[in-house]
Structures are given as structure tokens and as C-alpha cells.
């Protein structure tokens, strides 16, 4: 079904990787060939990279109704083993070079097929679990806190969210997006899906905006758009975005966490000067990617707003008893739409589950809407932070550290995690553990020694008394 949709773009360039152009026709042909090797009722893990092979893998799995577990390629391939053990995928698609890793060799039954720089392997795992027919993609909730919690998405979720995004961004065949985010991240994946379904071209890059190669590629291949998380925008401001000449860029998007008022104002002004539309957006992996967006024309008036619900979605504010609230009343943001995920999974034994949400998502974000219907976020119900675009659940992290014998309390503000311990010994232990389980740059967290972790009479940690 997806091949049919893409076939009408067969003569368009789908992917530009280094000096190679691949047309939609090429991509479909390669996906069909890969599809010959798949059985049915199995799970396939893709170790994603921003490359053509990952795009081919994704298309082939979707077309063949095989659920894809997406994992961004980690620095150390051995760290995949815990995910592999808990999901027992029958197949794995990964870089051919990584097949040589001892850990991967140990779980390989045989290598089935190689294409581009990727190889499809069959693992030693039997599929001794049931897979729900509606399951299509498993995505991480984006922050690595050492857990294997994934969001379960259906084909309907993926296609519905892509259609909404294509509609409000007005993505056209002539657009050329340059990649800035990993494909195993909901925002990164949504950029790929929406451009493929529009017949547009994707310029593959794994460079950061602070690398010369990124800007060279952007110019050389005539990119017209790109997206970024708040940290991307912070870096671009440091690079003095105002002096960067990018005449071919027609619009840019931002999601993956709150962009502070100062940065929003800066990009509002600079984008206006450059005649670039700037879309500030809000979403969650639980909603496949996108929930709301702010029309660029309202950015100056509603700078801090997350905008309004995407086409075909609805946003509400509700109190604790689930009663809908009126304008300017604060409560939890509730989203309704076909892009609301089926639920979560923590291992392959959760894959039998069907739709547990029925299109309704309790976002956990606290906020309100103004008299003009624009939504604002003022806080969070659950304790989590967004660090360099990664969602970090503080309770999960704290449990994980405690279970590893490191007694601590995890807290923090905005984009900086603080870990409180009571001895030098614990501090050293925490530092070692964090390097292992938290896949973010160490400047995103700090460890502080305090006399004692404040608790109330019931023994609950009083986070408000920390830092």
C-alpha cells in the first residue's frame, strides 16, 4: 500500500546521500527485494542511521506489515544487547560492519541479505510471543534512562500524523529537507515520513549544525528546510544565525522541547529578515510525533504558545475529574486524534496488546488556552526534563540508580539534571552508572553531595527542598 502511494513520484529524487541520487523508483525496487526475505508474524529491529538503507528498511517493513523496532545507532553496539534480549526480534537490520561485533555474532543465526551498507540477519530468538496485527512501529520515548520502554504505534498512527503535518506545513514535491535528527527519534522519523509521502527529497546528513560540512551540504544540495530541537537552535544562535546566508531555505521547524522566550524572539526576528517561516511545534512520541503547532504569523503575538491542535486533532484542558475546562483555566492538556499511540511496551510480551488509548492521550503537561484558543504549557504532571532534546523521566532514572545500589534523589530544572547523593563514595558510583545508563552528554547533569535526602513522614522524597 505504501509503494502504491510512492509510485506516483517514481521520477522524483527521494534521497540524496553523498553524491548519489536515489529516485522513488530505486527506493521502491530495493524495498521490494528486501521484502522477499521476511516471514510473517515476526518482529524486526532496525539499528537506524541517517542513510538510504534505513529508509529502504522502513518502507519494506511497513509494506510487508512487519513491526519495526527502531533503535538509533548507539556509540557502542554492545549496549543494544539489553534491548535485543527483552524484545527478541527474529530479524535485525544493521550496518554490515556491526555484524562483526562479538555480541551481535553471538545472537546471529545467519545472515540473510546485504544491500547498500546494511545486512539483514536472522537471530537465534524464537518468536514465542504474540504480535498484535495493528502494531507497526516501536519508538523509544526519546530519553535513554536505561529502560526498554517503547511506544507502540500503528500504521494508522503513522499515516494520520504524517497527513496532518503535510497539510499544515504544506510540504510539496519540490521541497528538499536536510536531516538534523536521528530517524529512531519521533521528530526525526516524522520528517522522513512526511517528505516521502509528499514526493519530496531528503538530503541525508549526520552532521551537526556546528560542522562546516552541514552548511556546505545544505548549500550544495539546495536544501529548502530543516528541523531542530531547542539545542539545535541554541547552537545556531551561538553561530550567529543572523549572519548565515541561506537564501534557499523557505521554512524551518522546531520541536522536541520548549524553546525559551528569548530564543523564540531571536528566531522570530531573524527569520522574518531572511523571509523564512518559523514553525514552533509541540508533540510527544505517544502522539506519533506532532500534537500542535503555531502558525508563523501568530509567533510575534503568541510567542510562548504551543499554538493549536494539528489538522484532524483536538486539544482540551481537563481537571482531575476529567471535566473539560474553559479558557484561561489551568489543567492537564488532553489530546484526541488518530495519531495517539496504542500504548507502551516494555518487552516482547507486551506486543500482543491492542489499542489501550482509543485515540485519547493524557499528555501529562499542565496548561491552559487563551480567549483566542491558543494553548500554553505551564508545568508538568510527571517529573521529567528535556535534556538536549531527550526526555528524561526523573523517577525512572532514580529507580534505576537505586536498584543498582546507588542511593540518590534525582531532580533538576529545565534542561539540567541534578543527582543528589550523601557521600563521596556514592558520587563516584553515580558518575560511573550514569555514563553507562544515561545516553546524554555529561554536561547535561551534575552530581551533588548533600547531608541527607529530605523525606516527609511517609518517607517520600521532598524534591521541593532540593536545590
Partner 1 sequence: MTNLEKYCNIYRKVFELDNNSDVTTLSFQGIPLWDSIGHMNLIAALEEAFDVQFEIDDIIDLSSFEKGKEILTKFGVDFN
Q: Are strands 201-203 and 13-17 parallel, antiparallel or unpaired?
A: parallel
> Which one of 5, 8, 33, 238 is in contact with partner 1 (CB under 8 A)?
238
- Identify the burial level of 224 via C-beta atoms within 10 angstroms of its C-beta, where 0-12 means exposed, 13-18 middle and 19 or more buried: buried
Contact call for residue 273 and partner 1 (CB under 8 A): no
Choice from 75, 110, 371, 451 touching partner 1 (CB under 8 A): 75
In DSSP terms, 23 is beta-bridged to 13
Residue 30 C-beta: closest distance to partner 1, Å = 29
If the CB atoms of residues 131 and 244 are measured against partner 1, the closer one turns out to be 244
Provide DSSP, 20-44.
Answer: EEEEHHHHHHHHHHHHTT--SS--E
Q: Is residue 235 at the binding interface for partner 1, with CB under 8 A as the rule? A: yes
- Minimum distance between the CB of residue 239 and partner 1, rounded to whole angstroms? 5
**Binds partner 1 by CB under 8 A, chosen from 212, 273, 451, 460:** 212
Task: Work out whether 93 is an interface residue with partner 1 (CB under 8 A).
Answer: no
**Which residues, listed in sequence order, are joined to residue 253 by a DSSP beta bridge?**
227, 279
Closer to partner 1 at the Cβ: 432 or 465? 432
Which residue, 5 or 238, has its beta carbon nearer to partner 1?
238
Look at residue 211 and give its three-state secondary structure.
coil
Name 225's Cβ contacts closer than 8 Å, sequence gap at least 6. 175, 176, 177, 178, 249, 250, 251, 252, 253
Minimum separation from the CB atom of position 441 to partner 1 (A): 4
Residue nearer to partner 1 on the CB measure, 211 or 327: 211
| Residue count, binding to partner 1 (CB under 8 A) | 20
Nearest Cα residue to 23 out of 33, 9, 40: 9
CA distance 218 to 222: 6
Judge whether 195 and 171 are in contact, CB under 8 Å: yes
Under the binding rule (CB under 8 A), the answer on residue 441 touching partner 1 is yes
Smaller CB distance to partner 1: residue 234 or 295? 234
- Selection from 8, 68, 66 nearest residue 36 by Cα: 66
Binding of partner 1 by 428 (CB under 8 A)? no
Q: Indicate whether 110 belongs to the interface with partner 1 (CB under 8 A).
A: no
From 240-248, 272-280, 417-425, 455-463, give the range in contact with partner 1 by CB under 8 A. Answer: 240-248
* Min dist. Cβ of residue 389 to partner 1 (A): 10
Which of 21, 106, 211, 261: binder of partner 1 (CB under 8 A)?
211
Please report how close the Cβ of residue 71 comes to partner 1 at its closest, in angstroms: 18
Contacts of 127 (CB under 8 A, 6+ apart): 41, 42, 43, 88, 90
Query: Binding of partner 1 at residue 74 (CB under 8 A)?
Result: no
Q: Which residues contact 467 (CB under 8 A, 6 or more apart)?
A: 411, 412, 413, 418, 420, 448
Q: What region, left, alpha or beta, does residue 52 occupy, with left being phi > 0 and alpha being psi -120 to 50 degrees?
A: alpha
The secondary structure element, H or E, covering residue 114 is strand 108-115
Burial class (CB in 10 A: 0-12, 13-18, 19+), 212: exposed
| DSSP conformation class of 381 | S
Of 110 and 273, CB closest to partner 1: 273
CB of 230 to partner 1, least distance (A): 12
- Using the rule CB under 8 A, give the single segment among 34-42, 124-132, 237-245, 396-404 that binds partner 1: 237-245
Q: Tell me if 369 contacts partner 1 by CB under 8 A.
A: no
Give 27: exposed, middle or buried? Use CB within 10 Å, 0-12, 13-18, 19+: buried
How distant is the alpha carbon of residue 109 from its chain centre? Answer: 31
Could you give the 3-state DSSP secondary structure of residue 371? coil
378 near partner 1 (CB under 8 A): no
Q: Give the one residue of 41, 82, 442, 446 binding partner 1; rule: CB under 8 A.
A: 442
The crossing angle, in degrees rounded to 10, of helices 52-63 and 186-197 is 80
Nearer Cβ to partner 1 (85/238): 238
Indicate whether 262 belongs to the interface with partner 1 (CB under 8 A).
Answer: no
Could you say which of 185, 187, 231, 384 contacts partner 1 (CB under 8 A)?
231
Contact status: 247 vs partner 1 (CB under 8 A): no
CB of 443 to partner 1, least distance (A): 5
To partner 1, the closest distance from the beta carbon of 287 in angstroms equals: 27
CB of 207 to partner 1, least distance (A): 9
Sheet strands (E) in 229-383 = 251-254, 277-283, 290-294, 308-309, 313-318, 331-337, 343-345, 360-369, 375-380
- Candidates 388, 391, 396, 410; binder of partner 1 (CB under 8 A) is 388
CB of 455 to partner 1, least distance (A): 32
Helix (H) or strand (E) holding 271: helix 261-274
Positions touching partner 1 (CB under 8 A) are 75, 208-212, 215, 231, 234-235, 238-240, 243-244, 388, 441-444
Amino acid at each position: 500500500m505504501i509503494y502504491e502511494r510512492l509510485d506516483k513520484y517514481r521520477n522524483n529524487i527521494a534521497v540524496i546521500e553523498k553524491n548519489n541520487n536515489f529516485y522513488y523508483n530505486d527506493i521502491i525496487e530495493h524495498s521490494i527485494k528486501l521484502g522477499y526475505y521476511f516471514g510473517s508474524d515476526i518482529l524486526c529491529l532496525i539499528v537506524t542511521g541517517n542513510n538510504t538503507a534505513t529508509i529502504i528498511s522502513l518502507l519494506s517493513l511497513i509494506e510487508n506489515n512487519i513491526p519495526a523496532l527502531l533503535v538509533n545507532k548507539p556509540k557502542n553496539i554492545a549496549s543494544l544487547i539489553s534491548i535485543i534480549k527483552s524484545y527478541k526480534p527474529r530479524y535485525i537490520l544493521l550496518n554490515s560492519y556491526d555484524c562483526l561485533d562479538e555480541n551481535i555474532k553471538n545472537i546471529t543465526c545467519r545472515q540473510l541479505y546485504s544491500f547498500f551498507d546494511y545486512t539483514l540477519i536472522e537471530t537465534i530468538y524464537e518468536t514465542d510471543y504474540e504480535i498484535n496485527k495493528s502494531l507497526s512501529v516501536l519508538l523509544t520515548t526519546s530519553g535513554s534512562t536505561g529502560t526498554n520502554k517503547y511506544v507502540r504505534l500503528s500504521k494508522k498512527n503513522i499515516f494520520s500524523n504524517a497527513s496532518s503535518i503535510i497539510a499544515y506545513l504544506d510540504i510539496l514535491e519540490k521541497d528538499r529537507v536536510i536531516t538534523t535528527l536521528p530517524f529512531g527519534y519521533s521528530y526525526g522519523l516524522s520528517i522522513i515520513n512526511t517528505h516521502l509521502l509528499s514526493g519530496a527529497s531528503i538530503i541525508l546528513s549526520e552532521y551537526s549544525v556546528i560542522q562546516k560540512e552541514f552548511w556546505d551540504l545544505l548549500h550544495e544540495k539546495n536544501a529548502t528546510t530543516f528541523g531542530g530541537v531547542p539545542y539545535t537552535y541554541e547552537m545556531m544562535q551561538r553561530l550567529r544565525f543572523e549572519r548565515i546566508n541561506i537564501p534557499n531555505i523557505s521554512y524551518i521547524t522546531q520541536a522536541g522541547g520548549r524553546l525559551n522566550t528569548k530564543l523564540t524572539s531571536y528566531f522570530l526576528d531573524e527569520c522574518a529578515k531572511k523571509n523564512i517561516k518559523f514553525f514552533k511545534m509541540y508533540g510527544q512520541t505517544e502522539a506519533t510525533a506532532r500534537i500542535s503547532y503555531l502558525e508563523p504569523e501568530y509567533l510575534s503575538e503568541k510567542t510562548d504558545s504551543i499554538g493549536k491542535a494539528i489538522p484532524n486533532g483536538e486539544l482540551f484542558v481537563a481537571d482531575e475529574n476529567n471535566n473539560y475546562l474553559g479558557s484561561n483555566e489551568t489543567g492537564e492538556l488532553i489530546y484526541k486524534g488518530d495519531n495517539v499511540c496504542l500504548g507502551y511496551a516494555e518487552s516482547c510480551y507486551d506486543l500482543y496488546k491492542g489499542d489501550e488509548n482509543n485515540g485519547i492521550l493524557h499528555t501529562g503537561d499542565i496548561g491552559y488556552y487563551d480567549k483566542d484558543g491558543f494553548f500554553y504549557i505551564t508545568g508538568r504532571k510527571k517529573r521529567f526534563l528535556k535534556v538536549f532534546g531527550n526526555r528524561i523521566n526523573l523517577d525512572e532514572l532514580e529507580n534505576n540508580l537505586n536498584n543498582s545500589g546507588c542511593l540518590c534523589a534525582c531532580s533538576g530544572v529545565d534542561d539540567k539534571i541534578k543527582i543528589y547523593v550523601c557521600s563521596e563514595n556514592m558520587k563516584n558510583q553515580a558518575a560511573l552508572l550514569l555514563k553507562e545508563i544515561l545516553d546524554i552528554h555529561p554536561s547535561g547533569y551534575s552530581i551533588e553531595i548533600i547531608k541527607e535526602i529530605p523525606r516527609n513522614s511517609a518517607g517520600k522524597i521532598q524534591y521541593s527542598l532540593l536545590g
